[in-house]
Amino acid sequence: MSCHRPDCEWLQLKNLTGLKVPTLAANADLSGIGVIVGFSMSAYLTLLMLLLHYITIFDLGNTGNEHTAPVNSVDYGILTWIRSHILSWRPSRRFNKAMEKSVLTLGDLNVVTGIGILIAGYSQLKCGISAYHWQIMVFISWFASFSFVSAMTFLQGYFRVNSTMRLIRISFMVIFVGLLISALLPTGSRMWLNAYPDDTEGFYPSMNAACFFTELRMPAKFHKGANFWTMIFSVLLIFGSHFHCGIRLFDPTAGTSRKYLRTIPGRKFKQVLYSMERRAGKSYSLHALVWKAVYLFTYAIFTFVRAVYDICESMLAEIIWLAFAMAWGTIKVWLTRASATINFDGKNYTSNSLSEENFWSFGQILPLVLFLLPLLSMAQSYLEDNAKEEEHMRAIASPEITTRNEEPKHVTVRAFTDTTDASNAAFVHSNTWTSFNLDETKRTRLVDLPPYPYLNFSSHSWYRDHLALLLFQILMAATTALYFLTSLGDVLGISSILRSRLFVIWGLVFIPLASLLHLTIWYLGALVVGSWPGPGAKNWLMGNGEGWRNKSKKSMLGRTVFWTCRIGLILGLLLFTFFLSMEIAGPQSLWP
């Protein structure tokens, strides 16, 4: 293929209507369907292995070194339920090692090929690589980068033992991220693959990518439009994900970040809350009731913030984040391929012949063949004789180790709390209503919440439901964002989300409001149960107690009412958040 120097004279023009540009030629070895499928499959395979590892092997309290990480409430609740009710299978140590070897190979393969693709792309800038092929190259590298991040998340324990290998891969990650972020910068141009420009200047996917790098040095030409915010979002997503990955590799327990972002601010907040608790006291005077209302509102904020911290620190949140980033990259790459079939000069449409990119060729089959390498590595590691012998000798020498690999590891109360003193902390399976200090022998006017020092709430149903509500809110917002991106990606891309009133109002107003309503309804429910005429309301809802042991039907009815109310409350608040946000926000953007 001959090398044509890029023609960037259009940068001096004020209007690009009727611009004559070269015809976009197909390049199946770069943007063919096989290349895209191969890299995306490798990314999703790594994510799938990370999810399998999380469900079956992930150790809630073990960090692989002498430090003990606090057990996360979200991970503990989800994994305990899954391993108790859905999937009790625990992979053997040999299978775990084989999967670890496979992911290690997969991560190395992706980071090396990703760097290679980017270097090859940079080398073609002077030969006139098109904006379309540059964007495809960027998003192929995108898949490789998040596949690498998934692998590093999976292999945190491995790299804490093999520190030299950790440094080598961190070095490759820094090089990869630098190349990828630099490659994303020109995509922020107003004319970068903009299929529906508002000034009818045209859409030219065959423009040379080198010209957009030149435009970066021309502030007067580089307008901060829709593409600019899409580029900013992409850069922040890449940088944030890899920066977080690096921190977790060097700080496995997140002790430093947790100290300054959670422990110290939390201690100050608890002091304020305790001051309000003392002012409210136990009396029912008007002054005490006013302070009680202020205390309850502040307590709700404290609970909401603690739940947000628990979700952000969980491994589940990392998996959701990686899945969202990969889904976003998938949508972008297929939208790019679909949009490049036409040219628009401001007046007329012409077509580009890219059908060759939908046929399989040598360059497209090769990525799929390379996809087999990590699977072969996994099979070899699992089936090799020394691995079998090691597992057999380990089982003979120490049967307890085999048992430990097959049974879920129990977490101590001390590890589960987020304070140094766990002696007073309630743990799992405790009574839901004990956190409200209800006394069934008398009617209760007000409900006492867990007092100072406000130890972990994770044993209580109201807090677990609160975590579930926030998780479903996050999943619903992410799904809606991907839907908007799919529907409007050819027009505004991610800027339709960043500039939307819907997501700003949703995230800053209605999610906190729904959380406040959830806690308020639970508190009112505790008041009703506490003031129920005669004893037995709490035991009826929980299906236990002396009065309900021989009344299975009534006991089942009480539990059914209890769970129906809990599930109905969460579903109702989710619908409330979504539809009211849509109604109030509307389709308007925050700025033009």
Q: Each residue of 170-195: pLDDT tens digit?
A: 899 999 999 999 999 988 887 787 64
User: What is the spatial distance between Cα 522 and Cα 520, in angstroms, rounded to a whole number?
Assistant: 5
Give residue 490's pLDDT: 45
pLDDT at residue 446, as a whole number: 56
Q: Taking phi first (over 0 means left), then psi (-120 to 50 degrees means alpha), and beta for anything else, what does residue 69 get?
A: beta
Q: What's the mean pLDDT in 356-373?
A: 74
CA pair distance 301, 292, nearest whole angstrom:
14
pLDDT > 90: percent of the chain: 13
Nearest to 26 by CA among 51, 1, 58: 1
Beta-carbon contacts of residue 210 (< 8 Å; ≥ 6 apart): 6, 8, 125, 126, 128, 129
> 305: exposed, middle or buried (C-beta count within 10 Å: 0-12, 13-18, 19+)?
middle
pLDDT: is 202 or 124 the higher one?
124
Q: Check: CB of residue 316 under 8 Å from CB of residue 54.
A: yes
Closest of 149, 125, 133, 126 to residue 47, by C-alpha: 149
**pTM score, two decimals?**
0.79
Looking at residue 263, its pLDDT comes to: 85
For residue 496, what are its two tokens?
């339709």
Is the model's pLDDT at 433 over the cut of 70?
A: no
In this predicted structure, the answer to whether residue 509 has a pLDDT above a threshold of 50 is yes
User: pLDDT value at position 417?
Assistant: 37
Count of CB atoms situated within 10 Å of the CB of 228: 17
Cα first-last separation, the chain: 43
pLDDT at 156: 76
- What is the pLDDT, as a whole number, of residue 517? 95
Supply the mean pLDDT for the chain. Answer: 76
pLDDT of 105 reads 84
Q: Identify the pLDDT of residue 498.
A: 60
Name the band, by pLDDT with cuts 50, 70 and 90, for residue 266. confident
Query: Hey, how many other C-beta atoms are within 10 angstroms of the C-beta on 132?
Result: 24
Of 133, 126, 48, 587, the closest CA to residue 354 belongs to 133
Of the two residues 545 and 23, the one the predictor is more confident about is 23
Asked whether the beta carbons of 229 and 236 are under 8 A apart, the reply is: no
Q: What is the pLDDT of residue 492?
A: 43
Q: Which of 420 and 510 is assigned the larger pLDDT?
A: 510
Q: And the tokens for 193?
A: 């693959």
Q: Say whether pLDDT at 420 is over 80.
A: no
List alpha helices for 253-347, DSSP H. 255-258, 264-280, 286-312, 315-339
Q: Where are the beta strands (DSSP E) in 169-211?
A: none
Per domain, the residue ranges of the chain are 30-254+315-406, 305-312+418-585
Q: What's phi and psi for 579, nearest 5 deg?
A: -70, -35
Which one is predicted more confidently, 226 or 197? 226
Mean of pLDDT values over 336-359: 75
Nearest to 145 by CA among 118, 127, 185, 168: 118
